């Protein structure tokens, strides 16, 4: 009998108490403390899925002279790989993709520098370009290719406009602290190509450079015969809004900053000249024409948390980020 009662009590315990214990365990599991996931904004977070590609056409003039129509985003992968280091911040790469797309699209619709809507692969004329294969063979990484491809595809179809027209999407390497007015460099004023501050570029390869000339080399470069001591050669200097040399008088002759940059082979028009009897020292700030977006400045902004929209708005004030439709044209 004792054995029977023991079995009965055990059964009652299992049937009445154990289910409650199981329910408590399940409830505790369901209400356990969950890990906190940091919120991110669309500006800085990588989307889980990329937007559908916008099919646009680029017209490219290759090094062999052949002109070919290609898919825009396929072409831009090679442009961004050539124009901006892949280890730059993602938002800077996105900004570069938008600017390069704008430049290419405007050339396509307005005939561009070559008169047929094409862009060449010479960075001194249009935009640099490197194929994926050449990039990898020259030390680039697969991760770099994937990162740049993401930047291009994440901004597919986006261009910059002003007054519903595509802008003159100029860009360059490093400003040396401030960009330049387009009018100061090319003589044509654009409301969105004005001098703006560009901080954070101090680590750029060509934030400053120094070049020296002997008095003989200096005169030869200018194509001028200067009299007297070199200390007396430099006269009045005027400056642009962006801190570049506007005009400089040398030996009684007035030169523009852009003329001197070309004649002396300088990296930018933002420079100072120190003359001594045996040596002329020129210190430049920045690298390039300094009009539009500074690539190192864009990366510096991205490092501090700016998204590509903010970067583009800073370097091209008053412009609108516009997404084009597809159609392949």
Distance set, CA 208 to CA 200, 243, 283 (Å): 13, 14, 7
**Residue 138: predicted pLDDT:** 96
Using one digit for the tens of pLDDT, what is the confidence trace for 93-102? 999 999 999 9
**How confident is the model over 284-315, as pLDDT tens digits?**
999 999 999 999 999 999 999 999 999 999 99
pTM of the shown model: 0.83
CB atoms within 10 A of CB 224: 15
- Strand, helix or coil for residue 206: coil
pLDDT in tens, 37-53: 222 333 444 455 899 99
Please identify which residue in the block is written with the tokens 């969950």. 34
pLDDT in tens, 221-261: 999 999 999 999 999 999 999 999 999 999 999 999 999 99
Q: What is the pLDDT of residue 327?
A: 63
């Amino acid at each position: 009998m004792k054995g029977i009662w023991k079995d009965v009590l055990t059964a009652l315990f299992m049937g009445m108490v154990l289910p409650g214990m199981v329910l408590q365990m399940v409830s505790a599991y369901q209400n356990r403390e969950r890990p906190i996931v940091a919120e991110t904004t669309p500006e800085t977070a990588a989307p889980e899925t990329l937007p559908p590609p916008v099919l646009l056409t680029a017209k490219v003039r290759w090094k062999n002279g052949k002109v070919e129509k290609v898919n825009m985003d396929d072409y831009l992968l090679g442009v961004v790989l050539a124009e901006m280091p892949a280890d730059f911040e993602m938002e800077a790469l996105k900004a570069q993709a938008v600017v390069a797309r704008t430049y290419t699209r405007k050339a396509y619709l307005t005939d561009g520098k070559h008169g047929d809507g094409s862009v060449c692969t010479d960075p001194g004329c249009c935009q640099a370009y490197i194929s994926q294969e050449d990039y990898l063979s020259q030390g680039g990484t697969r991760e770099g290719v994937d990162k740049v491809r993401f930047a291009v595809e994440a901004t597919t179809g986006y261009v910059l406009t002003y007054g519903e027209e595509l802008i003159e999407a100029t860009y360059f390497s490093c400003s040396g602290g401030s960009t330049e007015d387009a009018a100061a460099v090319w003589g044509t004023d654009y409301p969105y190509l004005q001098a703006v501050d560009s901080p954070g570029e101090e680590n750029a390869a060509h934030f400053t450079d120094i070049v020296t000339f002997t008095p003989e080399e200096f005169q030869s470069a200018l194509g001028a015969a200067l009299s007297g001591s070199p200390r007396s050669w430099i006269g009045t200097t005027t400056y642009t809004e962006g801190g570049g040399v506007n005009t400089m008088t040398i030996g009684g002759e007035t030169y523009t900053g852009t003329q001197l940059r070309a004649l002396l082979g300088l990296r930018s028009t933002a420079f100072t000249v120190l003359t001594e009897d045996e040596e002329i020292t020129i210190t430049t700030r920045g690298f390039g024409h300094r009009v539009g977006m500074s690539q190192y400045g864009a990366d510096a902004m991205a490092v501090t948390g700016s998204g590509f929209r903010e970067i583009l708005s800073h370097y091209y004030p008053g412009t609108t980020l516009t997404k084009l439709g597809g159609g392949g044209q």
